[in-house]
Copies of this chain bind each other. A is one copy, B any other.
């Protein structure tokens, strides 16, 4: 057979809640009413934080800030699947992830306020610091998973990143490593279709991002990233597979960055208001509300109550953030190394 087909592949897509809030019952993850309401609250919390952070930035009380508007479901839905004990590698636009994990909210304000002390994760929570250098944290995720394997521990590893990150060499090297060693990593890409001003079509000619996993010998799946339950289900399955030795999974959450890239950006320079408006229709929070409403778990009063609660929690975090005394100049020497050199000690004294 001189010309033959060597191999065929396909890429799946998962959706559970449609834009009207109707769910595919067969695919519904097994979540209680309380859990569903908790998820709703986490979406609200994330959105409330986001709005407040934008306001604080405008007032000069924090620095440049990357809004997560529109991506809350991808973050909260996936993070809610974590069982605890995982090692987590965020990029820089995952506030919803941090909240779902119980990361102290005031520390995020602190970090975006230009104080690195905000990045010290609470003991017991293995989340790496925000990684600004796009995609470069992915090898850490692979290495950590390899370490867990070597130690014979069933730790799973989760890494978050954007569509832009898929173009980096480190994405490739990390995915390849994960494939070769069948590592327990769940790679979660929030494909928000933009990397600053670069649209997905200029980032890659690949039809989907999910299919990139084929190059590394493991599965990729695309989920509707504005469908919290689809994200959740896919993450949970990928985590189970990881823990049971099934190797890595790549989950592409197709979503949309509804805001500017950061407060330093003006997205109207490079995309149309129509495009943004179309995606506002597909707001993941709205969709989840419709879904909850259909199940009798949501009404306007309840929403108002929860919004108030989220507001209160964020207010409190802002108060705590603003009460933190500024770092002392000497603190920039702390943690450079376990022990300072004689020269560094001398520099600190000046």
What is the interface of chain A, defined by CB distance below 8 A to chain B?
1-16, 24, 26-27, 167-173, 176, 179-180, 182, 202-208, 210-212, 214-218, 222, 230
Contact A9 B10 (CB under 8 A): yes
Establish whether residues A214 and B216, one from each chain, have CB atoms under 8 Å apart when the complex forms: no
Q: Kindly report how many copies of this chain are found in the complex they form together.
A: 2
Q: Provide a sorted-by-A list of 23 A–B residue pairs whose CB atoms are within 8 angstroms.
A: A2-B15, A2-B16, A2-B24, A2-B26, A2-B230, A5-B10, A5-B11, A5-B12, A6-B13, A7-B11, A9-B10, A9-B211, A167-B176, A168-B173, A169-B172, A176-B204, A179-B205, A179-B206, A180-B203, A205-B218, A207-B217, A211-B215, A212-B215
CB pair B222–A205 under 8 Å, yes or no, is: no
- Chain B residues in 8 Å Cβ range of A15: 1-3
Closest to A24 in B: B2
Complex alpha-carbon distance, A277 and B169, angstroms: 37
List chain B residues, Cβ under 8 A from A214.
Answer: 9, 206, 211, 214-215
- Within the complex, the shortest CB–CB distance from A31 to chain B, in Å, comes to 17
A7 and B216: CB pair below 8 A? no
State the CA gap A205–B175 with chains docked (Å): 10
Chain A interface secondary structure, helix, strand, loop or mixed? mixed
A7 to chain B, nearest CB (A): 5
User: Are B3 and A13 neighbours in the complex by a CB distance under 8 Å?
Assistant: yes
Instruction: Tell me whether A210 and B6 are in contact in the complex, defined as CB-CB below 8 angstroms, given that A167-B176, A202-B180 are known contacts.
Output: yes
Q: A7 to B207, Cβ gap below 8 A?
A: yes
Q: How far is the CA of A16 from the CA of B2 in the complex (A)?
A: 6
A109 CA to B167 CA, complexed, in Å: 39
Assuming A10-B5, A12-B4, A169-B169, is B215 touching A206 (CB within 8 A)? yes
Distance of A215 Cα from B7 Cα, bound (Å): 15
Which of B10, B180, B182, B204 sits near A204, CB closer than 8 Å? B180
CB of A59 to closest CB in B, whole Å: 40
